Amino acid sequence: MPLLRDTARPKVLVPEKLSPDGLALLRTSLEVDERRGLSADDLLQIIPDYEALLVRSETKVTATVLQAARRLKVVARAGVGVDNVDVEAATKLGIVVVNSPSGNIGAAAEHTIALMMAMARKIPEGCATLKDGKWERSKFVGVEVKGKTLSIIGLGKVGLTVARLAKGLGMAVNAMDPYASPAVAASASVTLVSSLPELLASADFLTIHTPLIASTRGMIAEAELAQMKPGARILNVARGGTIDEAALLASLESGHLAGAAVDVFTTEPPAADSTAAKLIAHPRAVVTPHLGASTVEAQENVSVDVCEQVLEILKGSLPRSAVNAPLILPEEYQKLQPFVRLVEKLGSLYTHYYASAPGGSMTRNTFDLIYQGEVASISNTKPLFAALIKGLLAPISSSEGININIVNAELVAKERGVFVSEQHSRDPSDQSSSYSSLVTLVARPPSRASSRARGEKAEAAPPQPQRVISGTCSGGEPLITRLGRFEASFAPEGTLLICENYDSPGKIGVVGSILGREGVNINFMTVAAVSPKLASGEADEPNPSKDGGTAEAAAVKDGPVSTEALMILGIDRVVGQQIATDLVKEGGVLSARAVSL
Ligand SMILES: NC(=O)C1=CN([C@@H]2O[C@H](COP(=O)(O)OP(=O)(O)OC[C@H]3O[C@@H](n4cnc5c(N)ncnc54)[C@H](O)[C@@H]3O)[C@@H](O)[C@H]2O)C=CC1
Ligand SMILES: O=C(O)C(=O)COP(=O)(O)O
Contact 579, 592 (CB under 8 A): yes
Residue of the CA atom closest to atom 4 of ligand 1: 292
Residue type, 331: E
Q: Which residues contact 390 (CB under 8 A, 6 or more apart)?
A: 344, 347, 404, 405, 409
CATH 3.30.70.260-classified regions of the chain: 485-597
ipTM over 0.90 threshold? yes
Distance 408 CA to ligand 2 centre (A): 26
pLDDT at site 400: 37
CA distance 95 to 309: 13
Confidence (pLDDT) at 291: 98
| Confidence (pLDDT) at 547 | 38
Chain-centre distance of CA 426, in angstroms? 29
| Model pLDDT, residue 358 | 57
User: Measured between alpha carbons, how far is 297 from 549 in angstroms, rounded to an integer?
Assistant: 75
Cα–ligand 2 centroid distance for 128 (angstroms): 27
Distance separating alpha carbons of residues 563 and 527, to the nearest angstrom: 12
Q: For residue 427, with 0-12 CB atoms within 10 Å meaning exposed, 13-18 middle and 19 or more buried, which class applies? A: exposed
Q: How many CB atoms lie within 10 A of CB 89?
A: 17
Residue spans in the chain of domains classed CATH 3.30.1330.90: 326-484
Residue 337's pLDDT is: 84
Q: How far apart are CA 405 and CA 394, in angstroms?
A: 11
Task: Return the ligand number nearest the Cα of 178.
Answer: 1
pLDDT of 406: 84
For ligand 2, say whether the CB of 106 is within 6 Å of any of its atoms: no
CB 258 within 8 A of CB 232: yes
Cα–Cα distances (Å) from 157 to 167, 181, 372, in that order, read 16, 12, 42
Query: For the domain 326-484, what is the CATH superfamily, name and number?
Result: D-3-phosphoglycerate dehydrogenase; domain 3 (3.30.1330.90)
Across the chain, which has 597 residues, the per-10-residue mean pLDDT values are 64 98 97 97 98 98 97 96 94 92 96 98 98 97 98 96 98 94 93 96 98 92 98 98 98 98 98 98 98 98 97 87 78 83 95 73 83 91 92 72 77 88 77 81 77 53 76 94 94 93 79 89 91 58 42 38 80 84 84 89
Per CATH, the homologous superfamily of domain 105-287 is NAD(P)-binding Rossmann-like Domain (3.40.50.720)
Question: Where does CATH 3.40.50.720 sit in the chain?
Answer: 2-102+298-314, 105-287
Element housing 309 (H / E) = helix 296-314
Helix (H) or strand (E) holding 233: strand 233-236
3-state secondary structure of 582: helix
Element holding 532 (H helix, E strand): helix 532-535
- Give backbone dihedrals phi and psi of 165, rounded to 5 degrees, phi first: -65, -40
CA distance 134 to 180: 48
pLDDT given for residue 432 in this prediction:
57
Class of domain 485-597: alpha beta
* Entry pTM: 0.75
Superfamily name with CATH number, domain 2-102+298-314: NAD(P)-binding Rossmann-like Domain (3.40.50.720)
Q: Which residues are the active-site residues?
A: 239, 268, 290
Q: Alpha-carbon distance 164 to 171, whole Å?
A: 10
**Cβ atoms within 10 A of the Cβ of 142, count?**
15
How many CA atoms, within 13 angstroms, populate the side-chain half-sphere of residue 132? 9
Angle at 360 between CA 355 and CA 364, to 5 degrees: 50
pLDDT of residue 180: 86
Distance 13 CA to ligand 2 centre (A): 18
Looking at residue 398, its pLDDT comes to: 57
